[in-house]
Structures are given as structure tokens and as C-alpha cells.
Amino acid sequence: MNKAFTKESDSQDDEEEGALPALPQGTRNYMTPEGYACMRAEFMTLLDEERPKIVEIVSWAAKNGDRSENGDYLYGKKRLREIDRRLRFLTKRLDIAEVADPSIHYGKDQVFFGATVTYSNAKGEERTITIKGIDESNSLAGEVSWIAPIARVLLKAREGDELQLMTPGGLEQIEVLEVRYPAPKAAAID
């Protein structure tokens, strides 16, 4: 059957975008101001720069005749679908985003969204993590999502608190050593 007569499922495309975890039902998409700005910048770049370039290439390639063997046309259409899928995903995430500035907690010793927390386990091993939004956390940089098990245990704890964390290896005792927040940005002087 000719590929022109097959329907590609939009729901299948959205499922492929599932590289990021789904938000828990009924919760907001908490993000830091930097995370929101980064996601918004990606959205605008795709919409204003990349998509128009690909549309132009596809339009040019379509004028060249036989589309079934036209690599520029086929690749361009595929890339256009990828861009549109990402734009839909970003639109959904940005629409439900709730920007929470962690600097409002600067100087406090209680763990809230955006905190950088140093804790130790019973063996004395220390670890430092920063609690961020689902769409912006990067485990390689020591960042965890606010829905991660460690973040859920740490939220609302204070320096010196001893907590119990359920790990694959069993229950682990941890102690909060330090809680830090970014300093508030200085107001711009006009």
C-alpha cells in the first residue's frame, strides 16, 4: 500500500515524547524561572527559526516532482513532524507550568522546591542534590525532579533532621546536613 494512504497516529507520536516522566495526576508543572526561560526559548527557536526553514525546504523539494524518491522532501516531512510533536509537547508543558522562584527561601534551613541539599547516609557518605522541575532536572548535574523519591522524603525537612528513605536495597537512614538556595537577583537599576 502506498504510504500516502496510511495514517500516522498522533497519540503514538505523543507517547514517543514520553522521554520525560508524566506529571502526577492533578499536580502542577513546577519549574524554576531559569527552567521556564530555557523551555520557552526552545519553543520560540523551533517555532520562529527551525520550522520555517524546514517548511521552505519541503516546499522547494515538492516542486521538484516525484516526491516518493525525493530525499529532501521525505526527510523534510519527517523533520517537520518531529518539530510539530515537540512544539505540541512544549505547549502543553508551558501551559501548565507554575514558576516557583527558589531564591525567596534564601537563608532558610527548610527544604522546599529549588533547594540544594547535602545529606549523608548511615555509612557517612555525603551527597548533594538540587530539587528542580520534571522538565529541567539533570541527574548528571546532581539535579532531581521534585517527584523523585529522595526529593519527596527531603521536602519540608530541616537541617539536622534524620529521615528514612526507601531504596531498592531497603530502608536507609539519611541526615540533612545543609540546605542552600540561590541568592535573590538584585533589582535592575534604571
Q: What is the pLDDT of residues 47-81, one digit of tens each?
A: 999 999 999 988 888 887 777 777 888 898 999 99
CA-based angle 16:17:18, to the nearest 5? Answer: 85
Asked whether the beta carbons of 178 and 117 are under 8 A apart, the reply is: yes
Closest CA to 47 of 4, 103, 94, 9: 94
Do 107 and 42 belong to one domain? no
Do 108 and 95 belong to one domain? no
Q: Which residues pair with 121 in a beta bridge?
A: 174
Is 16 contained in some domain? no
Quick one: average pLDDT of 84-95?
94
Asked whether the beta carbons of 181 and 106 are under 8 A apart, the reply is: yes
Cα distances from 57 to residues 70, 78, 87, in angstroms, run 12, 12, 19
Q: Which domain holds residue 53?
A: 28-99
Do 146 and 87 belong to one domain? no
- Looking at 47, 79, 99, the residue that finishes a domain is 99
Q: What is the pLDDT of residues 17-56, one digit of tens each?
A: 445 566 667 677 899 999 999 999 999 999 999 999 999 9
Q: Model's pTM, two decimal places?
A: 0.76
Is 175 contained in some domain? yes
Q: How many domains does the chain have?
A: 2
Do 70 and 138 belong to one domain? no
Confidence class for position 15, pLDDT limits 50, 70, 90: very low
11: Cβ contacts below 8 Å, ≥ 6 apart: none
CATH value at residue 43: 1.10.287.180
Amino acid 14: pLDDT: 46
- Residue 186 pLDDT > 80, yes or no? no
Do 94 and 123 belong to one domain? no
